[in-house]
Amino acid sequence: MVGGSLTAMSHDHVPPAEAIPEAKVLTVSDGVIHGTREDRSGAALVAYLVDNGFTVVDRGVVADGVETVAEALTAMAADFAGLIVTTGGTGFTHRDLTPEGTRLVLDREAPGLAEAMRLVSPLGRLSRAVAGTRGDCIIVNTPGSTRGCVETLGAVIDVLPHALALLAGTPTSH
């Protein structure tokens, strides 16, 4: 070493305990908005997130549509550092526009998350869902079926706390 001295490194530093990650759930459904369907997928996501160590701090419902999804996600992401999970609107009907609305608000896409979510079942290959970041949030789209939303989120739930820590600039062990 030139022109300096070595300093002792502390080996007794203990990293701070990881914070409990926060999540929000957005159901995208004309039927739920009009009262003709019960929001079972939103409820299933809330239960699944809580069972997997997340604190769910908000839950909303919007009608299908590019603008409705984009506006709701923009509002949910404002001053929030956490996970936002949508359910519904990822299929092939003319009103399934959740991915288009989500893309309008994403800063960066995270295609590996969406790809992993599609691989969990044969029907997953029909999903047009996207995932990515907006500010300090990770946004993931899931299908509107109760089983499908939990199944697809389950494909990535294990990496999401680490991804949120990276997004927040929190030191990680890698």
Domains and CATH numbers, the chain: 25-168 (3.40.980.10)
pLDDT given for residue 11 in this prediction: 40
Tell me the pLDDT tens digit for each residue of 46-75. Answer: 999 999 999 999 999 999 999 999 999 999
Q: Is the pTM of this model over 0.75?
A: yes
Ranking 15-29, 121-135, 147-161 by mean pLDDT, the lowest is 15-29
According to DSSP, residue 16 is labeled P
Tell me the pLDDT tens digit for each residue of 7-33. Answer: 343 344 334 445 799 999 999 999 999
Given a contact cutoff of 8 angstroms between Cβ atoms, the answer to whether 137 and 163 are in contact is no
E runs forming strands in 18-168: 22-28, 55-62, 83-87, 108-109, 131-134, 137-142
Q: Terminus-to-terminus CA distance in the chain, angstroms? A: 27
pLDDT given for residue 173 in this prediction: 67
Res 129 pLDDT > 50: yes
Res 133 pLDDT > 80: yes
* 124 vs 149: CA distance, rounded Å: 10
CB atoms within 10 A of CB 35: 7
Instruction: List the structure tokens of 161.
Output: 């706390």
